[in-house]
């Protein structure tokens, strides 16, 4: 897989620092599954961060912390009664997703427009970013739209094209209110993407404005 479009460096740095919200984290993690270049970049950033931490002067422990630690060591270890739950894999039919989605509850494809289906991913904790899978059939022209927030798109299979370039498997696309998205699916097979999005879609043009009340993503 040749990856042509990568997340901006600040996203990779924020991913390495663990400061992205869960929805954004999942989008970058999905890109990393298919991109050795960005995996290496994240490792390098983590290495630098670790070196900075190692270079900090040691700070004194508070009074009594050693005694408290020794008391904890004397406490009996509690063993959970319940057997470990088998890992449910809700998205096994969609290759290219990061292992952190293992065990997430599955969902089914919902029709949202002709040849376009959406599969929500219910996050394990509250996040301002919604995450879903989007499947669009060959030749689909997504209605011309902009965003009130931002949209991160990771291509898992198939491909699409818009004014910003051609996006195939492994590619990462970032859009916000400044980008006018006139997207066409140009692969012979379905194009499946993982999308992380804040805000709403704003459909452009007369048809878009007529359809706006009917489409909720």
What is the contact surface with Zn ion in residues (CB under 5 A)?
Answer: 6, 35, 38
State in angstroms the smallest separation of the CB of 16 from Zn ion.
13
> Which H/E stretch holds residue 173?
strand 172-176
User: In the numeric block, which tokens belong to residue 2?
Assistant: 């040749």
CB 163 within 8 Å of CB 124: no
User: In the numeric block, which tokens belong to residue 33?
Assistant: 């599954």
Buried b vs exposed e over 180-204: b needs ≥16 C-beta within 10 Å? ebbbebbbeebbbbbbbbbeebebb
State in angstroms the smallest separation of the CB of 38 from Zn ion.
3
State in angstroms the smallest separation of the CB of 35 from Zn ion.
3
Comparing CB distances to Zn ion, the nearer of 38 and 152 is 38
Comparing CB distances to Zn ion, the nearer of 38 and 101 is 38
State in angstroms the smallest separation of the CB of 153 from Zn ion.
13
Q: Measured between alpha carbons, how far is 3 from 22 in angstroms, rounded to an integer?
A: 24
Comparing CB distances to Zn ion, the nearer of 7 and 23 is 7
Q: Measured between alpha carbons, how far is 146 from 212 in angstroms, rounded to an integer?
A: 12
Comparing CB distances to Zn ion, the nearer of 35 and 116 is 35
Comparing CB distances to Zn ion, the nearer of 32 and 183 is 32
Cβ partners under 8 Å of residue 23, min gap 6: 123, 127, 128, 129, 130, 131, 196, 197, 198
State in angstroms the smallest separation of the CB of 178 from Zn ion.
22
């Amino acid at each position: 897989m040749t990856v042509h479009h990568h997340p901006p460096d600040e996203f990779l740095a924020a991913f390495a620092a663990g400061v992205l919200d869960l929805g954004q984290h999942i989008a970058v993690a999905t890109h990393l599954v298919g991109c050795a270049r960005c995996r290496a970049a994240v490792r390098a950033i983590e290495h630098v961060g670790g070196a900075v931490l190692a270079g900090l002067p040691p700070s004194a422990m508070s009074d009594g912390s050693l005694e408290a630690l020794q008391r904890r060591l004397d406490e009996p270890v509690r063993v959970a009664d319940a057997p470990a739950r088998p890992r449910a894999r809700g998205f096994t039919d969609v290759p290219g997703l990061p292992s952190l989605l293992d065990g997430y509850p599955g969902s089914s494809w919902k029709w949202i427009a002709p040849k376009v289906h959406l599969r929500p991913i219910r996050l394990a904790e509250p996040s301002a970013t919604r995450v879903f899978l989007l499947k669009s059939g060959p030749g689909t022209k997504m209605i011309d739209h902009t965003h009130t927030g931002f949209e991160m798109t990771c291509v898992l299979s198939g491909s699409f094209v818009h004014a910003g370039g051609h996006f195939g498997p492994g590619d990462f696309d970032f859009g916000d209110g400044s980008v006018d998205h006139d997207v066409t699916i140009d692969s012979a097979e379905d194009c499946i993407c993982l999308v992380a999005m804040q805000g709403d879609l704003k459909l452009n043009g007369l048809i878009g404005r007529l359809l706006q009340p009917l489409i909720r993503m």
